[in-house]
Amino acid sequence: MIPKQAKQYQEAAIEKLLTRTKELLHGKKDKRTIVFQAPTGSGKTFMVSRYIEQLIAEMQEEDLCFLWLSPGKGSLHKQSFDVLKKEFRGFPLTYLLEEEFFGSRRVIGKNEVVVGNWEKLSSKDGKTGEWKNVLMRDKETVNFRELVQKTKEAGVKIILIIDESHSRDKAERAFELRDEIINPELTIEMSATPVLKEGKYDEKVTVQSSDVIDEGMIKKEIIVNENIDHIIDDEITSQELIMEAAWQKRLEIKKQYESEGVCINPLVLVQIPDSEAGSDKKEFVESFLASKDITYDNHKLAVWLSEEKINQEKEFVTPNESDVEFLIFKQAIDTGWDCPRAQILVRFREIKSLVFEIQTVGRILRMPEAKHYNSDDLNRAYVYTNVKSLEVKKENDPNLNIIKSIFVKREDKYDKLKLKSYYRNRIDFGDITASFYGSLESVLCDYFSIAQGKLEFRFAEKNKKIVSKKIVIDDLEGRDEIILNKEIDAKLFDHLDHEKIKSSENYQAFLSQDDKERVFENLIKINLNGFAPKRSIPIVKNSLYRWFKKYLGINLIGGGIIYIQNIVLNNAEEFEKLFDNAICEYKPIKEKEKKKKIEEIEQWNEEWEIAGSRNYNPNTYKPYTSKLSIYKSPKDGKAYLNFDSKIEEEFIDFLEKNESKISWWWQNGNEHMEMNFGIKYGDGSTFQPDFLVKFKDGKIGIFDTKAIGYNEDDNKLKAEALQKYVGKENTKKKKMSLFGGLVVKYGNQFRINSDENYTPFGMLEKISDRSEEYGDNGEKQRGWTHLEF
């Protein structure tokens, strides 16, 4: 079986986990914890399985084992075990705790992965205080507590991985199990909604939902109660309404999958209340679906309740072509259940747990084939509910902003635009990727005159002697230069923010380990040549550690990483040049990676239109009273807008004041998506101008608001691409003509740049008269004119 290829965000997360693990393991803390936060559907289990494989490969000299604990009264740990065995493909060896360690085994071996259920392990009798699980009780053979102790005595270090760690937030026994019984060398708490607060963990590795969406792993957005107003029936009840809407939507989606040429039977999840009312709702759902010929007998209906299970077997429900069309549940599938073809959720009233709601919504987020389709309707999930208002806890779930419960509709005065629009998924995050190691290896080997890839007998000793001829590698300490005896004239105090304070005398002091880490990372950061620091620094660090281990034989555990950091910091000038050379050598490799991806995913829409309706997230879109917005909510008659800057809001106020000349305006969404209007610019990136404005004389204005003096290099590319687009589209002799440009606000007036060759606002040209038109001192902003309609 061919192993899965990691997505770019997965590679970055794995690298960060590896780097943070190595840094913590060589530290002196008794307890070390990494929080790994990743959205539902991002592939947490896959990423951690790759992390385990790479950690074993890179730390072969260390005796490590992995204890993977999953929650739940059901069999989530068995699901995890099955997935891990499949991903590992035979190595490392993976065992179920209750099967392999029932007394016959006394220790967990090096590199072994053992999977168990922490909820069962930590359970005690409320009256006697005795352990409930047989694996925990005292007996003639080895119990779990003794297994952990004997494993440590054998010199094997335990790395504890807690899956869905949010599930045991208030379970005291679970913390007792972790801290007092297992007391691991390192703990990784993984969840979409982690509960540990800052100060309770050492490091945090986060995967952003936007990255997961861009890679096609999860849905772009979740739409709430789409088009339920289209169902006309004066006597229909609210529960009938949402079931009918869900049933119709499922049929619609199925046809769209067929038109895409894929065999996927979309699944509807029906969540009934976890109360006495749940029985009545179940009977209603069964009766409603029976009228549509959806029953248990024909295998189109399944139920997954604690007291009743029909047609719910994993191998029966989860395949994309499964016959099951609707599945009724309460809470049994809230954690760990995975069925990517689930796309619609029906929710009735009286659901209490908001955290459970978030987890449940996550069940419809995954893409069935881990990719997005041509039809954006297939790239969305749908919720139908008869609750009065939908509240989602704004905790720390990175998926929350894709839940869109505000419905807005396009006004009838809209006429078709037929604009050409460009869209391309973000294929690059401006970061250094894993392929950077090859460039760094080449530069370092060349600089130190070491034969690349050739590792002869006693190579480490020989290479250390070679390296020591150019840099200092012995008797090192992390030192810090501190300004000494510097006098500052108080009269100059107001001007100090423009000056770099230096002294002729400096004092040498030792860096603390925390400070050393920051200085080391900053040295890398300032030499990244424009690459994104957050994603790139872990890659560069790990590449550097890898080179020193490979060629100088430096053990990364037991002070090895600190030693490498000291080498770099004590030879900072040399390594600044080496980093710069390596990144310059890497840039062409990066460009080839980007070009290859761009060719695969460019999309053009020759007759783009503003969609007939949209759904927005209530956390990010707020009501705005407008006469001219083309989108309004049928519920309250208001526009719903998301402002990135103050100037956007002021520009809308300016548009509203020109009602005599403007027919309507539309705010182009700030989310990067195909539904929005886009122009191609630069290296194939997507530019989404802020506003489209339809004028009563038939013209269409395309405007993008900007703050003065920021990102001018990017502004130039966008401004000139916009003018090129306007000119090209106007030559097609359409009924309407286009104009527009970048807009800034100077004083109380808006100014626009519509030149083919963009000049930043602030570059002045002197004119002799007409100063009243252009401002004080007769200064005209080159290329910029007052914006008047």
How confident is the model over 359-403, as pLDDT tens digits? 667 789 899 999 999 888 999 999 998 876 555 554 445 555 678
- Which pLDDT value is given to residue 248? 96
- Which pLDDT value is given to residue 766? 44
Whether residue 620 contacts residue 210, with contact meaning beta carbons closer than 8 Å, is answered with: no
Whether residue 440 contacts residue 544, with contact meaning beta carbons closer than 8 Å, is answered with: yes
Helix/strand/coil for 94: strand
Q: 189 forms bridges with which residues in the sheet?
A: 35, 162
pLDDT at 349 over 80: no
Q: Classify residue 61 by its DSSP letter.
A: T
- Which pLDDT value is given to residue 23? 86
Amino acid at 366: R
Other beta carbons within 10 angstroms of residue 379's beta carbon come to: 19
The strands making up 738-746's β-sheet, listed across from edge to edge, are 662-667, 691-695, 700-705, 738-746, 749-753, 784-786
Whether residue 631 contacts residue 666, with contact meaning beta carbons closer than 8 Å, is answered with: yes
The mean per-residue pLDDT over the stretch 414-425 comes to: 90
Helix/strand/coil for 603: strand
Whether residue 540 contacts residue 432, with contact meaning beta carbons closer than 8 Å, is answered with: yes
Q: 204 forms bridges with which residues in the sheet?
A: 35
Band of pLDDT at residue 515, cut at 50, 70 and 90: low
Establish whether the linkage from the previous residue to 689 is cis, with ω within 30° of 0. Answer: no
CB environment 486-496: b (16+ within 10 A), e (fewer): eeeeeeeeeee
The span from the CA of 18 to the CA of 57, in Å, is 11
The span from the CA of 717 to the CA of 96, in Å, is 57
The mean per-residue pLDDT over the stretch 641-649 comes to: 91
The span from the CA of 155 to the CA of 541, in Å, is 28
pLDDT at 119 over 70: yes
Helix/strand/coil for 559: coil
- Which pLDDT value is given to residue 612? 92
- Which pLDDT value is given to residue 495? 40
The span from the CA of 596 to the CA of 642, in Å, is 34
Whether residue 398 contacts residue 206, with contact meaning beta carbons closer than 8 Å, is answered with: yes
The span from the CA of 95 to the CA of 67, in Å, is 10
The span from the CA of 254 to the CA of 74, in Å, is 31
Closest CA to 16 of 535, 768, 488: 535
Q: Classify residue 178 by its DSSP letter.
A: I
Whole-model pTM? Answer: 0.67
Distances (CA, A) of 733 to 364, 694, 702: 45, 17, 18
Whether residue 633 contacts residue 614, with contact meaning beta carbons closer than 8 Å, is answered with: no
- Which pLDDT value is given to residue 63? 94
Amino acid at 389: S
Q: 347 forms bridges with which residues in the sheet?
A: 271, 385
User: How many CA atoms lie less than 13 Å away from 665 in the CB half-sphere?
Assistant: 27
pLDDT at 510 over 60: no
Whether residue 283 contacts residue 261, with contact meaning beta carbons closer than 8 Å, is answered with: no
The span from the CA of 515 to the CA of 762, in Å, is 40
Between residues 601 and 442, which one has the greater pLDDT?
442
Q: Classify residue 366 by its DSSP letter.
A: B
Other beta carbons within 10 angstroms of residue 604's beta carbon come to: 12
The mean per-residue pLDDT over the stretch 627-656 comes to: 94
Euclidean distance between the first and the last CA atom of the chain, given in angstroms as a whole number: 64
- Which pLDDT value is given to residue 773? 44
Between residues 61 and 67, which one has the greater pLDDT?
67
DSSP letters of 297-354? TTTSEEEE-SS-EES--HHHHSSTT-S--EEEESSTTSSS---TTEEEEEE-S----H
Closest CA to 172 of 122, 117, 125: 122
Percent pLDDT > 70 in the chain is 84
pLDDT at 215 over 70: yes
Highest mean pLDDT among 102-116, 370-384, 510-524, 653-667: 653-667
- Which pLDDT value is given to residue 770? 44
> Across all residues in the chain, what is the average pLDDT?
84
- Which pLDDT value is given to residue 597? 73
CB environment 131-158: b (16+ within 10 A), e (fewer): bebebbeeeeebbbbebbbebbeeebbb
Whether residue 639 contacts residue 632, with contact meaning beta carbons closer than 8 Å, is answered with: yes
The mean per-residue pLDDT over the stretch 513-539 comes to: 83
**Can you read off the two tokens belonging to residue 741?**
């440009």
The span from the CA of 169 to the CA of 165, in Å, is 7
Nearest-5° Cα angle at 194, 543 to 370: 65
The span from the CA of 277 to the CA of 140, in Å, is 49
Per residue in 691-737, pLDDT (tens digit) is 999 999 999 999 999 999 888 999 999 999 999 999 999 988 666 79
Whether residue 658 contacts residue 639, with contact meaning beta carbons closer than 8 Å, is answered with: no
Helix/strand/coil for 12: helix
The span from the CA of 552 to the CA of 560, in Å, is 11
The span from the CA of 787 to the CA of 493, in Å, is 42
Sign of the CA dihedral running 187, 192, 195, 201:
positive
pLDDT at 260 over 80: yes
DSSP letters of 194-224? --PPTTS-SEEEE--HHHHHHTTSB-SEEEE
- Which pLDDT value is given to residue 600? 65
Nearest-5° Cα angle at 315, 313 to 321: 115
Between residues 32 and 669, which one has the greater pLDDT?
32
The span from the CA of 477 to the CA of 475, in Å, is 7
Alpha helices in 272-385 (DSSP H): 277-290, 314-317, 354-361
pLDDT at 298 over 60: yes
